[in-house]
């Protein structure tokens, strides 16, 4: 049975936004456009995969197997945000730097979903 969650729609919205940005700015460098399209494609793929039960079950299996998995999503999110801010700041807030930051948003969104799944499991017990 397919299951739609808030994150399914967030992945879909992120993919649509990244695709619209890549098509909306044809004068971007080809590397940045490829990065935006790749992130959008990955977002669409994760959106599709997140509708299946194995997505949640895999997250729970990893969470139960390792106690260190509790802090790992927080570390990944924190490091990703710090590195993104550092890169955007060092490039003087250029459009290219900001768009590269948007393409990293998928990683943060996946780990936020893992955190929410673990909170739901902990509240059930």
Predicted TM-score of the model (pTM): 0.84
Q: Under 8 Å CB-to-CB from 72, ≥6 apart: which residues?
A: none
pLDDT at 94: 86
Cα–Cα distance measured from residue 96 to residue 82, given in angstroms and rounded to the nearest whole number: 18
In the chain, where are the structural domains located? Answer: 6-124
Q: Between the CA of residue 3 and those of 25, 48, 53, what are the distances in Å?
A: 34, 10, 7
Q: Is the pLDDT of residue 65 over 80?
A: no
pLDDT at 61: 76
Q: Is the pLDDT of residue 112 over 80?
A: yes
Cα–Cα distance measured from residue 21 to residue 18, given in angstroms and rounded to the nearest whole number: 5
Q: Is the pLDDT of residue 57 over 90?
A: no
pLDDT band at 67 (very low <50, low <70, confident <90, very high): low
């Amino acid at each position: 049975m397919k299951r739609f969650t808030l994150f399914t729609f967030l992945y879909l919205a992120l993919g649509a936004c990244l695709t619209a940005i890549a098509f909306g700015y044809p004068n971007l460098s080809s590397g940045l456009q490829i990065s935006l399209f790749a992130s959008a494609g990955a977002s669409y793929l994760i959106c599709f995969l997140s509708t299946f039960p194995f997505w949640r079950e895999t997250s729970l299996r990893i969470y139960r197997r390792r106690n260190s998995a509790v802090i790992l999503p927080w570390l990944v999110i924190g490091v990703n945000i710090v590195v993104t801010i550092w890169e955007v700041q060092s490039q003087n807030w250029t459009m290219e730097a900001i768009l590269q930051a948007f393409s990293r948003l998928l990683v943060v969104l996946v780990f936020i979903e893992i955190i929410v799944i673990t909170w739901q499991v902990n509240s059930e017990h």
